[in-house]
Structures are given as structure tokens and as C-alpha cells.
Amino acid sequence: MTRNIRNLGLARQARLRNEAVRLKDDGLDYIQIGRELDVTTIAARDLCMRHQRFAKRQSGLSDVRRLPHRVIQLFLNGRYAEFIGQTVSIRARYLADIASLYSKSDLLCEQGIGRITVDRIEQWLAAQDRRFRAPDETVAEVICRFHPRPAQSAGRRASRTMHRREALSY
């Protein structure tokens, strides 16, 4: 039975979105993703595109050019992404933190990243009060510099717990 994702709870939509992104990264097309997740082809495409739009919004500042799509994908799926979050949606929220874990030489070793792109990323990081990792710094030292994440309010925690319970009942 193919279903529309709008009728699902937020937690279920988030879970489907993360699964759709994982399947897309594994090389499946939207038709195959739709069959795998039991949603329409259009819903599968929407699930994959929603996280990309969020990541682009996170990377876009008014006075600084946005990051190229390939750079966003590198940060969301790169070697340091798992240090920040397990899901793509969490990683997208902390894109600047992930980017600051890279050194310039790390990025220059990546395929399709050159000096101009590295300069553009450096400007984007500077606009967010971040910088590249220095060559003599470890990743652990950079992570220790991160600002603490804001604590969730009691109402928001209760709301999340309720959504999790709803998702488990499906």
C-alpha cells in the first residue's frame, strides 16, 4: 500500500526522511526508494529533497555566498560527520561545526575541492565565527572548543517523548 507522507506524525516523517536519504546515498533512485519505504515516488523525492533544502538554508547567509552542493554533501557524509550526529538532519543543523573539523589540507585532498572552494568555505566559516582546524590541532581539541548546545525546554522534551510514543505505535 503506497501512502502519502503528510498523514504521518513528525517522528515517523523524520525517520522516513533519514531512511530515504540513506537509500539515495546508496545509489537507489526515487522509484526504488518509494517501493522500499512504501510511499509514492513523489513522496520519496520530497523526503530526499527536504533535507537538502534544510542544509542549504543552514549554509546560506545574507552577505556570504552559499556553499556548493558538493561541499554540503561532503560535510554531511564525510569522515567527521559521525562525530557530530548520527542522522543527516542533525548533521545539517551543525554544518559549521562539521566544517571546522577539517583542515585546509584535508579538504584539498578531497576530489573536486580546489583552492577557490577552500577559500569560499573559509569565508563561510568566518561569517559564522568558525575556522578550519589548524594542522597541529587534533579533532578532539576542536570539538572541545564547540559552544554548548542549548538545553531543551521541559515542554519540548515532553512533546518529543509523545511523538516517539506515537511513532512506536505504528
CA atoms within 13 A on the CB side of 112: 7
User: Strand, helix or coil at 45?
Assistant: helix
The enclosing H or E element of 17 equals: helix 10-25
Do residues 110 and 142 touch, judged by C-beta distance below 8 A? no
d(CA 12, CA 16): 6
Give domain limits for the chain. Answer: 5-168
Mean pLDDT of 5-34: 81
pLDDT digits (tens, 9 = 90+) for 81-124: 888 888 888 888 888 889 999 999 999 998 888 999 999 999 88
Do residues 100 and 130 touch, judged by C-beta distance below 8 A? yes
pLDDT digits (tens, 9 = 90+) for 21-39: 888 878 888 899 999 988 8
pTM over 0.75: no
